[in-house]
Amino acid sequence: MGDVFTARVPAELTQAISLAETNADIYIAEYNVYMGHLLNNENQKLFPEDMVLLSHWNLRDEIKSNYANLENGLEKQDMIYTVMKHIINQTIPEKVINSGEYDWNPIENKVYQDGNEVELSAEPDTRYLQILNNFNANKATDEYYTDYNTFIKRAFSGAKEIPQEEIEKLFDEYLSSPVVKEVGKVISKRLGRDLKPYDIWYDGFKARSSISGETLNEMTREKYPDAKALEADLGNILKKLGWEKERAEFIASKVTVDPARGSGHAWGAEMKAENAHLRTRISSKGMDYKGYNIAIHEFGHNVEQTISLHDVDYYMINGVPNTAFTEALAFIFQKRDLQLLGFKNDNLDKEYLENLDLYWSVFEIMGVSMVDMKVWKWLYENPEATASQLKEATVSIAKEVWNKYYAEVYGTTDEAILAIYSHMIASPLYLTNYPFGHLIDFQIEQYLVGKDFSDEVDRIWSIGRLTPEIWMQEAVKESISIKPMIEAAEEALKHIN
């Protein structure tokens, strides 16, 4: 009940926080790189004329998609990484951001207009000014909180209900586990070259599905021509997952399906008389496979929302400890989407590959999240810092994290790549949610193996909004742990090697 009573922060300070966040959002949303205007040292343009990529998401995804490009994929990947370094170090010419007015050779960092070299000034640490603005706006409210008197405490002990120190310890253990060197060797062997820093995004463990996309689209379109058809089938989906008829129908009756304008989302009810809403995109041709896959994810959220509202003993603790715990059930459902369409997954290799893929991507995002946390700690130790001092500190923290956990695997030191994430600018201290969510999800999945799926889901998600640690002990009989994921990676290595 204590959570209901929050601090009384003056409205103008709350507004200042939202203004700083909005400005940072806009800054990031307009941070595009005009790839068709990038030149290599031979004055060649490697990317399509009209390709415009948003930093960092699209840049990262372009690196990923070039693993399959044997012609000049490596050169493209190298060039994107060079661009990223200019963004992190703020040596990027300001006028090439979000503009195709100039041609830019990022290798030499020279800019051309109509073939003639021109002098342009670098971005003036605006990237770091955004973080600083977020910091100052949040810090201004510290004195209104008795216990959670820093933004770090509010983001961790408050919102995530887990102290920052515990998260850092958990991540440090994972990042220090020796298995990473073995996984790195496998990747290097598969690539046929030494690892490059951007191989933190290696995605070659993805197992190709044997069922064609068109076949899947046809199936889901026929099955779900509109939102009502999906709604009518929710009870069946639950029965296929093992729920008894009566229970399946009860849960299904508490979920309403609406067509979505965006991609999809799940909105839980706050009172038992109301329904949870599943929103998903359905075109006039019916629901395609991508929409179906998302709908099953959202349905997992709805099932969590329904169980944790109706079956938690006390209304005041309805729900789950934090977003990771609702995402866990959403992913558990989503992974079973093909099974629900009647396909069997008996390809063991696929599971090994998926576990290595997960292990490697969690290793990447944990490092990124480490940098985010350490930057905020540095800010609290240096509250008077300027944007340019913050830049120096961020780059050196990123290199420090790299040197500690990554250098040995990659064979290079002092790489700042972990500081490229846009979340650090626009969503302060959010990044932790991803690796933390993966750990929880994986631990629960491992626990569910060989158990009665529906009974366990009913039991686990009716625990309520305890702290993450107590919730996990009740749910899977052990503390939050990195072990299941490490062990799965070790097991996978034995079979893939």
Sites of contact with Zn ion (CB under 5 A): 327, 330
CB of 303 to Zn ion, least distance (A): 12
Quick count: other Cβ atoms within 10 Å of Cβ 299? 29
Sheet holding 110-113, edge to edge: 103-105, 110-113, 116-118
Sheet holding 264-267, edge to edge: 255-259, 276-280, 264-267
Q: Among residues 200 and 330, whose Cβ is nearest to Zn ion?
A: 330
**Which parts of 37-195 are beta strand (E)?**
52-54, 103-105, 110-113, 116-118
Q: Quick one: which H or E segment has residue 265?
A: strand 264-267
CB of 301 to Zn ion, least distance (A): 6
Q: Are strands 116-118 and 255-259 parallel, antiparallel or unpaired?
A: unpaired
CB of 323 to Zn ion, least distance (A): 8
Q: Among residues 327 and 337, whose Cβ is nearest to Zn ion?
A: 327
**Among all chains, which residue has been given the structure tokens 């493209």?**
76
Is 112 within 8 Å of 96 (Cβ atoms)? no
Quick count: other Cβ atoms within 10 Å of Cβ 424? 29
Closest residue to Zn ion, Cβ-based? 330
Q: Among residues 103 and 327, whose Cβ is nearest to Zn ion?
A: 327
CB of 165 to Zn ion, least distance (A): 27
Q: Among residues 287 and 330, whose Cβ is nearest to Zn ion?
A: 330
CB of 158 to Zn ion, least distance (A): 21
CB of 105 to Zn ion, least distance (A): 41
CB of 295 to Zn ion, least distance (A): 12
CB of 332 to Zn ion, least distance (A): 11
Q: Quick one: which H or E segment has residue 188?
A: helix 179-191
- Helices (H), strands (E): how many in the chain? 21, 8
Q: Among residues 76 and 301, whose Cβ is nearest to Zn ion?
A: 301
Nearest to 397 by CA among 131, 205, 158, 48: 131
H-type alpha helices, 311-347 = 323-334, 337-340
Is 141 within 8 Å of 153 (Cβ atoms)? no
CB of 297 to Zn ion, least distance (A): 6
Q: Among residues 202 and 442, whose Cβ is nearest to Zn ion?
A: 442
**Alpha carbon distance 96, 114 (integer Å):** 14
Q: Are strands 255-259 and 276-280 parallel, antiparallel or unpaired?
A: parallel
CB of 300 to Zn ion, least distance (A): 8
Q: Among residues 267 and 378, whose Cβ is nearest to Zn ion?
A: 267
Is 151 within 8 Å of 428 (Cβ atoms)? yes
**Alpha carbon distance 278, 265 (integer Å):** 6
**Alpha carbon distance 369, 367 (integer Å):** 5
Q: 161 in helix, strand or coil?
A: coil
